Structure 1
C-alpha cells in the first residue's frame, strides 16, 4: 500500500545518502546500515499470513487496503461484504473459539470430551505443586503457561523433579498459572480447515542444524540464520534461531556446547518444540495426508 511504499522509499533514500556522504564506509558499517534499513522496512511490513491473503485477493480482483497507517490490519472488499484481517485472525473468527483456544486447561478438557487424546494434565500455581503433580502424572512431562500462544514458554520432555521445579519457578515469574501435562512424543502437524473442509496440512519441525565436521554449533546456527527466508516476528517464512538458555540446556543434554564441532551428518536439536516462532520450519504434507 501507499504508506508502506512511502516509508520504504524514504528510508532507502536515507541509506543511499549515507553512502554518498561517507565514501570510506567499510563493509561492517555498510552491513549494519543495511540491517537497520531492513528492520525499518519490516517494522512497517505486513506479516506473511496477511501477505498471502493479499496475493490471493489480487488474483481474484478483490480490493484491499490497510485500515490505518502504521497498523497491520487490512480490509478486503467494501460494504457489507468486507472482511478484515490481522495476522492470522479475521473478522470471521468465532470469539468464543478464540477465547477457548487461549485457555489451555479448558481447551484440553474440551478436546478430551470428544475423545481426542490430550494426556493427563493439571493446573498449578507454584513450583512445589508442579513438582508434586509431575511425580503423580509420571515423567517425562510438559510445562506451559495456562494462557498464551506461538509455543512461547512451552518446555517439553522434563524428566526429573528438579528440572520441573527449576523450569516452573522460571515460568511462574512470567505467568500466574501453569499446566503440567504428560509428554506425548510424535510429529507436530497443523491442519487448515476452511468453511468446514480440509484445505492443507503442514508438518512442523523443531529448529536444528546438521554437523559438517568443520563448523561449531554456534557457527552452524549463524549459517542457518543467513537463510533469506528467516527474519523476525513472522515477516519471513521462518524466524531466526536465537541462542538462549533453553537452547544451551538442550545442546548440553546432547553432550555438546556452542563451541563443539559436530561430526558430519549429526543432527543437533536446538528446540524441543516445533514452533516457527522459535526457528523451526514446516513441510507441506497436504498431498500425503490420510483422507480420514
Structure 2
C-alpha cells in the first residue's frame, strides 16, 4: 500500500485539505502567507508568481459564474442535459403548493427531494413509492427551508462515487458510503458508533481524514425508519446506516476505487466538468456497475461540486491514497 505523506506541523487548526496544499507548496519552496486563518485563505508566492487559494480548491481557475452554475442544481442539470450527459429525470419547484400538485405524478416512484443549493447533503430527503402526502410534504418543507427552489427527481439505485477532476484529468475516484456501523451480535448501535469514533482518523470540523458519526435527531430518525434506535443490537455482520446522504462530513466512509472504474466513466466526468466550464471540481456519479461500460439505465450524474475536498482521496478510509495537492499547484503554474 502506498505510504501517506505526513502533514506539516503548526497548521493543525486548518482544514485538512488546506494542510495538504501547504505541505505540497512547502516541498516546492513556495512561500505560504496565511491571509485569513479562520477562512483557510492562503496566498502562495514563488518569485514573482503569487496565487490566492481558499479552502484548498477555490482558485482563479474557476470563474464566479462557473461556481454559480455548479452551486445551482437546476443550472447544472441544464448544462449537463444540453451536452447529452445522463442526469436523473426530475422537476423543480419554488413552493409547497406547486410540488403538491405533482404528488400523484411521483407517487409510484422512489424519488429524491432536495434543495437547489445545498452542501453536505443538508435538506435532502428520499421518499419511497406510496409515501403519504403528509410525508411527501414534510420532505418538501425541509428542502424549501434551505433554498428558494427544490428539485424532485428519480432515485437511481447504486453506490455513489466522487470523481475529482483537475484540469483535463480525473485524478482520483472514491466510493462514498453513508455513515454506518456493522453489528457484532452483542453491542448496541450506540456502542458501535462510539467504538468506530475511537478511530484516531475521525474528528470534527474537516481537520481530520474522517468525521465522527453523530448521534443527533437526524441519525435517530434514520434508525426509526428502520424500526431501530441507538439501543438496538444488530446481528453479526449486519450493516446499519445512520444517514441517507453519503457525505464524509456527516460520518461517511471514503473507499478509493480509482483503478476499478471503467475508463469511460472518467471521460464522462471530464465532459461534465467542461460542460460547466470547471477546471477544479468534484463530479458525483451514481452507478450500480461502475466497473463496466456506462449504461444510461444504470448510472447518472447527481451533482457537479465546486470546492471539492482533497482529503477524502489522500486519506481514504480504505484503499490507495491519491496525492492530489501537487496537481492543483501545477494547474496554478507553480514549478
**TM class, shorter-length:** 0.7 to 0.9
Q: What's 2:237 paired with? A: 265
Distance 2:65 2:128 in 1: 32
- Give the alignment of 1:84-163 within 5 angstroms: 84-87=52-55, 88-137=57-106, 138-159=108-129, 160=131, 161-163=133-135
1:49 aligns with 2:17: yes
Q: Secondary structure at the match of 1:191?
A: strand
Alignment CA distance shift 1:129-1:218 (3 Å)? farther
Alignment CA distance shift 1:256-1:69 (3 Å)? closer
Number of residue pairs matched? 252
* Contact 1:145–1:179, Cα closer than 8 Å, also in 2: yes
Distance 1:156 1:80 in 2: 51
* Contact 1:211–1:264, Cα closer than 8 Å, also in 2: yes
Q: Secondary structure at the match of 1:288?
A: coil
Q: What's 2:221 paired with? A: 249
Distance 1:261 1:251 in 2: 12
* Contact 1:205–1:280, Cα closer than 8 Å, also in 2: yes
Offset from partner CA, 1:169-205 (integer Å, 9 cap, x none): 2333333221111111122111122221222111111
Alignment CA distance shift 1:264-1:127 (3 Å)? same
Report the Cα offset of residue 131 of structure 1.
3.7
Q: What's 1:76 paired with? A: 44
* Contact 2:160–2:177, Cα closer than 8 Å, also in 1: yes
Report the Cα offset of residue 282 of structure 1.
0.7
Q: Secondary structure at the match of 2:259?
A: helix
1:188 aligns with 2:156: no
Q: Which runs of 5+ in 2 are unaligned?
A: 1-8, 265-335
Q: What's 2:142 paired with? A: 170
- TM-score, normalization: structure 2? 0.69
* Contact 2:69–2:75, Cα closer than 8 Å, also in 1: yes
Distance 2:98 2:42 in 1: 44
Distance 1:180 1:71 in 2: 33
Report the Cα offset of residue 216 of structure 1.
0.9
Out of 62, 74, 77, the residue aligned to residue 30 of structure 2 is: 62
Report the Cα offset of residue 81 of structure 1.
2.5
1:276 aligns with 2:248: yes
Higher share in helix: 1
Let me know the Cα RMSD of the aligned residues. 2.2
Distance 1:94 1:236 in 2: 29
Q: What's 2:303 paired with? A: none
* Contact 1:104–1:147, Cα closer than 8 Å, also in 2: yes
User: Is the deviation greater in 181-190 or in 79-88?
Assistant: 79-88
Task: Please say which structure displays the higher CA radius of gyration.
Answer: 1
* Contact 1:127–1:166, Cα closer than 8 Å, also in 2: no
